[in-house]
Structure 1
Amino acid sequence: MRTAAFRLMLAVTVLGFGGHALLLPVLPLWVSRAGSGEFGAGATTGVFMLTTVLTQLAVPWLLRVLGYRAVFASGLVLLAAPTPFVLGTAELGPVLALNAVRGIGFGLITVAGSALVAELVPPAEHGRASSRYGLAIGIPGLALLPLGVATVDALGFTGVFWTATASPLLAALLVPFLRATSPTPRRHASDPGVEELARSEAGVDRVSPDPVAGRRAFVLAGLGPMAAMLAGSVAQGGLTTFLPLVAPGAGVAVPVALFALALGGVLGRGVAGPLVDRRGPGRLLLPGGVLSALGMGVELLAVGLSPWLLVPGALAVGLGFGLVQNDSLVALFAAAGPARYGAASAAWNIGFDAGTGAGASGLGAVAQPFGFRAAFGVAALLLLATTPLTRRRSSPTP
């Protein structure tokens, strides 16, 4: 983590994800003000996430063929390059098409970026490295998501769009200086035996010479981390989408709750890093899921009572999910081994993005007929229902 390559990786991440975070709330506003309404505003994000997830499925193959730097740089360019063209039209169809291209770029950088973390540091530091990577993603979002719309008033749409273009392009120019190795199986000479220990902690005692058996072992060992990741992202996605609707006349309580949700995620990932490295992957999945479930229970009680109760509930959900995010990523890396870091990264990112979309759509389907209390209750039950899968395996996968 002290190498120039890893520090440069963090700088590239801040620039790339910062440009994304700045535009995320502004693009829906752009089409909404042009007359596309709420449907058009939601469609911009929906199309973006759809192409992101579809792209993530192909990234492990692209990493093997092209290498990390080429995939990462290409993703940053695709994320940035379509943005200025949005200024030429506010019609929904062209904007959705341009945002679909941006989603492809985002799918590339999310998988390549988190896989690079595993490549650039030895397994003994994966917890802390993933934590710092999470901070590099979370802090720009924490600052820019609430400020995105306000920035439009200060700089206008033109200034925001060009800033969101320049930041990822600058990051792409820095990528060639990353001394990233190719995604091939190897041992870390500086940490003999660490990989075996990490894989044992994840329930995998060796890399099977049989590729089918190796994939099966990875899937079995990854069930717990993926279940925790999906349940947590459903809860967070539901809160992000519906908190403004739960208490529409609550004044500043809802923005503060959204900030608390994001802040909790950043703090949770920061706390998880050293704990995962010291205690091994998989130990924080259960407490993280329970903490998020308790937070959703507080949100359930807040509906119809006091909007300020939404703040501690959102903070608890964010903290719990932050623990799960970091621990699940390291657990998947340990289960996969160096030969499958790309696949582990893709699985984690797909779980995050797909769960976020499911939280928005699935909990919305519950809230429409039964109300937000029922929706938040379903999310809490889902978090609790997945906890048995997060328990550490008592014996290694054969």
Structure 2
Amino acid sequence: MNSPEWTRGARAAYQEQVRTPVSTGSPTPLRQRPFRFLLIATVGGFSGYALLLPVVPLWAVAGGAGEVAAGATNAVFMLVTVLTQLVMPWLLRRVDCRGLFALGTALIGAPTPLFALSSDMVTLLGVSALRGIGFGILTVTGSALTAELVPTAQRGRAAAYYGLAIGLPNVALLPAGVWLSDRIGFEPLFWAAGAVPLVAALTALGITRVRLGEAPRTAPAQPVALLPSWTIMVVNTAATGGLTAFLPMAVDASIAPAALLVFAAATMLGRWLAGHVGDRLGQRGVLAPATLLGGIGVLLLALAAWSSDPVALAGAALFGAGFGAVQNTTLILMLERVDSATASTAWNIAYDGGHGLGAIGFGVLIAASGYPVTFAITGVLLTLCRTLAARRWA
């Protein structure tokens, strides 16, 4: 890391850098060939993840496990993911980032056919842990490569396209996995879900070799500089984890599936728009409106939970758009403050850890106060994040 002491001139140069809007004539990051290969490999890696996220618990139940034990398969997967992410800054300073990205993508797929051997919980938890290591590596290296493979002026749009490469498999394959397990059976699906990431790992050969270094000398290198953006990301992700888990129980059953689909689509659109607008007008100008938009959306969801009103669709759209924009903008703001390894790790921990905290926290609040009050409290917290986002150091 660089020394925490800045000269006054270095600080001024950094502040000018993050304030200055980027010219609208800056070319698209899709013109960078290594970045295109990164997107292709990302789609493959996340396809292996999304296909099985709802399927492995179903396989456990089919083998006689109870719901708690079945849920433990995904819980172990995410726990190992976060633990792996914690060691990534150290690892990325010693190993080529492209090689780690290929390894993580391969580990999502290679152990997967082992699920077919047995539905015994020891096997399921062991394979889930191996895949969690791969997912932890994949998520951190993918974000870091997004920043390293394109010019700084294109980072916002690059992160937006990277978000699409993650989002599309989730939208298309989360429901498809359940459908395919019913049509072709679990075992063929495990083999297919294992093969796709392995092929994607080969695509990484088209990515430039990258060894991550230190933060630019004009940027503050202390991880504490990430705290405002990290806090905003955790609050928004926790809201997402809780709402996606409990929205189907809080609103009318005829509205819930459409609301979740609208949320997923709006999240991708919000991230894509934030990347383009942020590169042109500056990232901080996007963050405050995005947090406010998300807060308003959740307040509408609270109204829907109270009255079973179709306003849930409007709330899901606003919350999704705000959350997508927050994802993109917080990542770029973190990359402006510290090296890519630290920024990517912090952002991914906020994302994955926030989801778990949200699901647990919502469960406690709902038990104490009900769905409408819990959603209303969440909407107020997201709206208050606008004050933090509007700060110059956010």
Any conservation in 2 of the 1:75–1:104 contact (CA below 8 Å)? yes
Q: Which residue in the other structure is 1:244 paired with? A: 248
Shift of 1:44: 1.6
Cα distance in 2 between the residues matched to 1:96 and 1:154: 25
Q: Which of 224, 249, 252 is the equivalent residue of 1:219?
A: 224
Cα distance in 2 between the residues matched to 1:270 and 1:322: 8
Shift of 1:378: 2.5
* Structure 1 residues 6 and 62: CA distance shift in structure 2, 3 A: same
* Structure 1 residues 35 and 377: CA distance shift in structure 2, 3 A: farther
* Structure 1 residues 313 and 277: CA distance shift in structure 2, 3 A: same
Cα distance in 1 between the residues matched to 2:160 and 2:316: 20
Shift of 1:292: 1.1
Tell whether 2:382 aligns with 1:383: yes
Q: Which residue in the other structure is 1:358 paired with? A: 357
Any conservation in 1 of the 2:110–2:195 contact (CA below 8 Å)? no
Q: Which residue in the other structure is 2:370 paired with? A: 371
Q: Which residue in the other structure is 1:120 paired with? A: 149
Q: Which residue in the other structure is 2:289 paired with? A: 287
Q: Which residue in the other structure is 2:25 paired with? A: none
Q: Which residue in the other structure is 2:333 paired with? A: 331
Tell whether 2:237 aligns with 1:233: yes
Shift of 1:304: 4.2
User: CA RMSD for the aligned pairs?
Assistant: 1.8
> What SS does structure 1 have at the residue aligned with 2:118?
coil
Cα distance in 1 between the residues matched to 2:99 and 2:277: 33
Q: Which residue in the other structure is 2:83 paired with? A: 54
Tell whether 2:41 aligns with 1:12: yes
Shift of 1:379: 1.6
Shift of 1:185: 4.7
Deviations 1:279-337 (A, max 9, x none): 1222222111111111111111111422633222122111100000011111111111x
Deviations 1:43-72 (A, max 9, x none): 122111111111101111111111101211
Cα distance in 2 between the residues matched to 1:229 and 1:90: 36
The TM-score with structure 1 as length reference comes to 0.88
Cα distance in 1 between the residues matched to 2:337 and 2:235: 20
Deviations 1:77-129 (A, max 9, x none): 22112211111111223211210111111000000001001110011000000
Any conservation in 1 of the 2:296–2:383 contact (CA below 8 Å)? no
Q: Which of 91, 96, 108 is the equivalent residue of 2:137?
A: 108
* Structure 1 residues 10 and 315: CA distance shift in structure 2, 3 A: same
Tell whether 2:297 aligns with 1:300: no
Question: Residue type of the partner of 1:79?
Answer: I
Question: Residue type of the partner of 2:390?
Answer: R
Tell whether 2:225 aligns with 1:178: no
Moved more, 255-264 or 344-353: 255-264
Tell whether 2:52 aligns with 1:23: yes
Cα distance in 2 between the residues matched to 1:45 and 1:317: 25
Shift of 1:360: 0.4
Any conservation in 1 of the 2:102–2:204 contact (CA below 8 Å)? yes
Question: Residue type of the partner of 1:244?
Answer: P
Shift of 1:351: 0.4
Shift of 1:181: 2.5
Q: Which of 81, 88, 92 is the equivalent residue of 2:117?
A: 88
* Structure 1 residues 33 and 374: CA distance shift in structure 2, 3 A: farther
Any conservation in 2 of the 1:254–1:307 contact (CA below 8 Å)? no
Unpaired segments of 5 or more residues in structure 2?
A: 1-28
The TM-score with structure 2 as length reference comes to 0.88
Question: Residue type of the partner of 1:107?
Answer: G
Cα distance in 2 between the residues matched to 1:308 and 1:46: 32
